[in-house]
Amino acid sequence: MSSKKRVPIVSIVGRQNVGKSTLFNALLKKKLAITEDYPGVTRDVLRARVLNPEKGLDFFLCDTPGLDIERPESMEEAVLENAFRQVAESDLVVFLLDFKEVTNYDSRLIEKFRKDPELKTIPSLFCVNKVDHPEEEADLDSFYRMGLSEILPISAIGRRNLPLLLEKIAFLLPSAKRKIVENETEEETKTSDEDFSLAIVGKPNAGKSSLLNALCGYERAVVSDVAGTTRDSVDTTVTFEGKKIRIIDTAGIRKKSDKGEALEFYSFQRTKKAIQGSDIVIHLLDAQKGFGDFDKKIVSMLQEEGKPFLLAVNKWDTIENKDNQSFKDYKERLHSRLPLLREIQIITLSAKEKQRIHKLMELTLDLASRAKRKISTSELNQSLRAWMAEAGRSFSANRPPKMLYCTQVSISPFHLILFVNHVDYFKSNLLTFIKKKLTEKYNLQGIPIHLELRSDRK
């Protein structure tokens, strides 16, 4: 029986009168803290639990007193000491600043969080409060110049961007994004000492079981020339270059027959569940059969679920009269079938002959590492603005698209939220251009990119 995990702590900090208690109340939708227009009202640490399993949220939210008491009296010194003790126990700090006024206190407090041995290890999300109008979201340069990496414009009173703030908290808390699966059995639960889980998917008889056996080094799954021999998912764990990986050999995805075989429906559901429960996916093709319509459906499912994947072309040893051009030609045929595959890593192998299995695992480890990429808000905004300027008017008609602010809220998929002047001005070709730039700059090959546009103008 594993020990119960500690609920993470998120503390709202900042100088007096920046709106900490108002934000605390707004996030909880209850009036627990005392809020007044004059500074120094909050004299102790308030704590309440935020629990929303559907959004991956479970943490204690703490409201601290203003941390800018310059000449503390005996009582205030104790309050301040208690506040900093609370902050030191936090898993994430929401550092609140005033959009209309940045003081010396703010700068000194930021420096303390940067230099204090205990505080500098705690991730900080800098929220600029009192950003009451959408146009002001593009005016955060002065805060970027302060060297702040994670900046979020909000209005606690106007409740602007508070759902986004909760998304960012879930994203930045290491354990907050754990997916809760209903009716999950003990055997299906991912163990805490695994580095990641890997699903092997593809059409029946593509060689999934042979690949699993090659990866394991022994006969783990039944291998047969009869398509669809594997009727259930078989899990096993391997260690490769110090990484512990749970590998799922899925039941072959097969088109539903006219009679609607219950077994095939069950196999499809198990495959879908395996994809949902995995961190990384290998999509296996039969070199002789190529990329068919049902492979397209698999890629669509992977995109929909936001799963990083690579394409492995099995039975490459059976292709006759190969030369240096063969693989290039094969890839071009794949790209013509589905242009999306241009952004996906493709490797040839032979599971039966155990050829290029080591290389496949190297690519899988690399993909798993890249899939954890978090880009700071400041860097993202700098990159996106440069690309928007590069695009100029080439992707727009009479109404130029304008990005006000963007931030990352998920790693798998790589999910960005863009606040824009008008959603309709961002045409599909511009979004494709932005995705291509993101893939190139941040090495996101094989990682689905989701761009979510938000605007106050519908």
Q: Which residues are annotated as a binding site for GTP?
A: 14-21, 63-67, 129-132, 202-209, 249-253, 314-317
Nearest to 17 by CA among 90, 106, 79: 106
Binding residues: 14-21, 63-67, 129-132, 202-209, 249-253, 314-317
| CB neighbour class for 121 (10 Å; exposed up to 12, middle 13-18, buried from 19) | exposed
Nearest to 250 by CA among 276, 288, 225: 276
